[in-house]
Chains A and B, each alone.
Chain A
Amino acid sequence: MREITYAEAKVEALRDVMRADRRVCLIGSYFLGLSPRRVLLEDIRKEFPGRVFDPPISEGGVCGLAVGAAMAGLRPIVDVTTASFLFHGFPQVINEAANVRYMSGGQLSAPVVFHILHGLRGGGAAQHSHSPQAMLWNTPGLEIALPASPRDVKGLLAEAVHSDNPTIVVDHARLFEVKGEVPEELFSIPFGRAEVKRNGRDVTIVASSLMVQRALEAAGTAVAEGIDAEVVDLRTLVPLDKQTVLTSIAKTGRLVVVDECHRSCGVAAEIAALAAEEGFSQLKAPVKRVATLDVPVPFSQPLERYIEPTAEKILATIREIMR
């Protein structure tokens, strides 16, 4: 199969869902952030005149407009750009989109997609570096997808558009240059199916988004030390594929959870709770978390590095749990 970059796969997904479904439109156009790859979006702009919108800087209004449009028959994909800006849209995402199905007693649905770029991008500092997926996960009614490979971004984006629920696609600018095999045709990856990205016997590393790549890097290095780590990519938080996680724990008996959210109440905390509640008897060692430290994100490089979950920190944690 052909190999392409993550950025190319992502743009291909947007193009293909727009070709396949006239109801899809893009509100916002920084799907590739500030990266040099952002020029790829120009092809979409050209191919779909009248279906790509550059909204005013009005996250609240834009998110709400998209929720309303989705309830009224469109399939909008909103690019909120930097995840930190989603907070300006929270009233509409959390209080409108997430609740509408339930509070209407199943009458209404809001099949809208919100796209955000989360996490540390290098020098983004406190107001441009959030990873809000755990906050979002604490809101029943939202589907949350976090691609980590070129194939996944194409398949998960397509599924997000097909889904009849409000979906947040939580992406990471540091994935754009990752290369991998991607089918040419439009395809969907069903939500709620984690993927074992690397098979191993000794320890399970559960991760999502960019942290999957970091976990794979650490697992690769650990081989030289005789440690065979398994890497499980959650791919979606809602719905959550508990079974794949529990099966892996049953096999290895050890769990390290890697997560770019802040440590307290992050994605890692929830996965650790799952292991404690449903996989306890399988565990040979206490669960360990590698997550962003509980401080706002600092600007300076050495400070940023200090708080971030790096491949070295993952490796050190693997060693510790194997001791």
Chain B
Amino acid sequence: MTSELNQQEAMELLRTMLLIRRFEEGLIQTQKSGISIGHFHVYIGQECTGAAAIALLEPQDKIATTHRNHGHLLARGADPRRLYAEILGKAAGYNKGKGGTLHATVAGLGFLSTSALVGGAVPLAVGAGFAAKQLGERCVSVGFFGDGVLEEGVFFESLNMASLWKLPVVFMCENNSAGALGQSAGEYPGSTIATKQLIDVVAPFGVPASAVDGGDPRAVRDVTQQALARARNGGGPTFIEARTVRWPGSRPLWPELSTGETDVAFAWEPDRIPMAHRDWFANDGLIRYVRQLFDAKLANTKEILALDATVRADLAKAMRFAIEAPYPDPASALDDVFA
């Protein structure tokens, strides 16, 4: 049922992953330079999951996401200029500055409301699946959410309904808790659940569940393809747990560029990786993927560096656009309350 990536698709996937990585590295630097964007969360270390899964979606499909949304939006084709502008609270932002990093969304790309409440988006994703089924549309609803959502009761209520009514939903749980120290160490929360593994709680609901390495785009692609096919063929929901290691920069409550800017050449010159960050980059899905492309001769170092340079140049322009863009008219705070 699954298909292999051709060279063009493989490079496109790399472009998406680089776009997300560089977008967020830029964001952390911007915040450091004194431009306030509030409390925010980055997708660094999880790019493979969103990039690989979202590449498989059809235009009519729906996506629900969370406070950790930048990667999902970019993978679906959001304009980095308008996304940066939103995160900086500017009028040119997708939400006209009303949402910021927590609620950035692009309705035209099939995104539902981006909820920053843990568990908030999951029933919305199930609802979009319910609507698709009622309306007879061949549309799948994919909910991206963190492992913490399985601690909220609403997750189980949502899963139950999706299973009972065989809704075309993919529960994409991004478990980034491996390597997390958690809140008792004064750091960003890690999984606090009694089950051995997350997928254990899904099986009793009769929903097929599998765990994959979220840093392996091919593995993510395989399980997502199967899940999407099941949903489109009336087979109901699937639960996928994509496991990634917590990026050290996401351990503190406020993200820090603690491993430095990623150097794609780490993929073919591992000796360049600073000693302190060897463990992290050895595991980093982006670097691993670059090495795979390189080893499989799908791309050479020159092509990879050129792609990276283009992505970075575009993002530098996008950030400049966002920084120079005007703030919304203060009185526009009163608009958009009702349809």
Report yes or no: A38 in contact with B103, Cβ–Cβ below 8 A.
no
Cβ-defined partner of A125 (8 Å) among B100, B118, B152? B100
The interface residues of chain B lying within 8 Å CB-to-CB of A42 are 186
Cβ-defined partner of A301 (8 Å) among B101, B152, B183, B327? B327
**Once bound together, how far apart are the Cα atoms of A304 and B330, in whole Å?**
8
**Once bound together, how far apart are the Cα atoms of A60 and B90, in whole Å?**
36
Report yes or no: A300 in contact with B192, Cβ–Cβ below 8 A.
no
**Once bound together, how far apart are the Cα atoms of A308 and B329, in whole Å?**
15
Closest to B88 in A: A300
- Known contacts A34-B39, A123-B38, A300-B328; decide if A54 and B117 are in contact (CB<8 Å): no
The stretch of A155-163, A181-189, A237-245, A290-298 that contacts the partner chain: A290-298
- Known contacts A295-B334, A300-B97, A300-B328; decide if A60 and B192 are in contact (CB<8 Å): no
Report yes or no: A303 in contact with B117, Cβ–Cβ below 8 A.
no
Report yes or no: A54 in contact with B116, Cβ–Cβ below 8 A.
no
Any A CB within 8 A of the CB of B331: yes
Report yes or no: A57 in contact with B97, Cβ–Cβ below 8 A.
no
Report yes or no: B184 in contact with A57, Cβ–Cβ below 8 A.
no
The interface residues of chain A lying within 8 Å CB-to-CB of B36 are 122-123, 301
Give a binary string over A278-313; 1 marks a CB under 8 Å from any B CB, 0 the rest: 000000000000000111101111111111000000
Any B CB within 8 A of the CB of A179: no
**Once bound together, how far apart are the Cα atoms of A128 and B118, in whole Å?**
12
**Once bound together, how far apart are the Cα atoms of A45 and B186, in whole Å?**
11
CB neighbors of A among B108-127 (8 A): 115-120
**Once bound together, how far apart are the Cα atoms of A194 and B93, in whole Å?**
44
Report yes or no: A60 in contact with B38, Cβ–Cβ below 8 A.
no
Cβ-defined partner of A56 (8 Å) among B89, B93, B151? B151
User: Interface on chain A toward B: helix, strand, loop, or mixed SS?
Assistant: loop
Give a binary string over B190-211; 1 marks a CB under 8 Å from any A CB, 0 the rest: 0011000000000000000000
Report yes or no: A125 in contact with B99, Cβ–Cβ below 8 A.
yes
Any A CB within 8 A of the CB of B21: no
Report yes or no: B192 in contact with A128, Cβ–Cβ below 8 A.
no
Report yes or no: A301 in contact with B115, Cβ–Cβ below 8 A.
no
Within the complex, what minimum Cβ distance (angstroms) separates B299 from chain A? 39
Report yes or no: A302 in contact with B327, Cβ–Cβ below 8 A.
yes
- Known contacts A54-B182, A299-B100, A301-B36; decide if A127 and B117 are in contact (CB<8 Å): yes
Any B CB within 8 A of the CB of A124: yes
**Once bound together, how far apart are the Cα atoms of A60 and B153, in whole Å?**
8
The interface residues of chain B lying within 8 Å CB-to-CB of A39 are 186
- Known contacts A295-B334, A299-B102, A300-B89; decide if A124 and B38 are in contact (CB<8 Å): yes
Report yes or no: A57 in contact with B118, Cβ–Cβ below 8 A.
yes
**Once bound together, how far apart are the Cα atoms of A293 and B333, in whole Å?**
9
The interface residues of chain B lying within 8 Å CB-to-CB of A127 are 102-103, 115-117, 120
CB neighbors of A among B211-251 (8 A): none
Closest to B91 in A: A300
Report yes or no: B333 in contact with A298, Cβ–Cβ below 8 A.
yes
Report yes or no: A57 in contact with B98, Cβ–Cβ below 8 A.
no
Within the complex, what minimum Cβ distance (angstroms) separates B104 from chain A? 9
Report yes or no: A299 in contact with B331, Cβ–Cβ below 8 A.
no
Report yes or no: A58 in contact with B151, Cβ–Cβ below 8 A.
yes
How many of chain A's residues have a CB under 8 angstroms from any CB in B? 39
Any B CB within 8 A of the CB of A88: yes
Closest to B100 in A: A299
Give a binary string over B299-328; 1 marks a CB under 8 Å from any A CB, 0 the rest: 000000000000000000000000000011
Report yes or no: B333 in contact with A299, Cβ–Cβ below 8 A.
no
Any A CB within 8 A of the CB of B332: yes
**Once bound together, how far apart are the Cα atoms of A84 and B331, in whole Å?**
25
Closest to B194 in A: A56
Cβ-defined partner of B334 (8 Å) among A293, A299, A305? A293
Give a binary string over B173-194; 1 marks a CB under 8 Å from any A CB, 0 the rest: 0000000001110100100110
Any A CB within 8 A of the CB of B273: no
- Known contacts A127-B115, A293-B334, A306-B331; decide if A54 and B148 are in contact (CB<8 Å): no
Closest to A85 in B: B117
The interface residues of chain B lying within 8 Å CB-to-CB of A304 are 333
Any A CB within 8 A of the CB of B257: no
Within the complex, what minimum Cβ distance (angstroms) separates B283 from chain A? 26
The interface residues of chain B lying within 8 Å CB-to-CB of A293 are 333-334
Report yes or no: B38 in contact with A122, Cβ–Cβ below 8 A.
yes
**Once bound together, how far apart are the Cα atoms of A94 and B182, in whole Å?**
30
Report yes or no: A299 in contact with B97, Cβ–Cβ below 8 A.
yes
Closest to B331 in A: A306
Give a binary string over B49-93; 1 marks a CB under 8 Å from any A CB, 0 the rest: 000000000000000000000000000000000000000011001
Any B CB within 8 A of the CB of A126: yes
The 3 closest A-B pairs by CB, nearest first: A123-B38, A299-B100, A300-B89
Please give the residue numbers on chain B whose beta carbons come within 8 Å of chain A beta carbons, in ascending order.
36-39, 89-90, 93, 95, 97-103, 115-120, 148-149, 151-153, 182-184, 186, 189, 192-193, 253-254, 327-328, 330-334, 337
Sample of 5 A–B contacts (CB below 8 Å): A54-B183, A60-B153, A127-B117, A128-B102, A302-B89
Known: A58-B151, A84-B117, A88-B117. 18 other contacts (CB 8 A): A38-B186, A55-B192, A57-B189, A85-B117, A122-B38, A125-B100, A125-B102, A127-B103, A127-B117, A127-B120, A128-B102, A293-B334, A298-B98, A299-B89, A300-B328, A301-B36, A303-B89, A303-B333
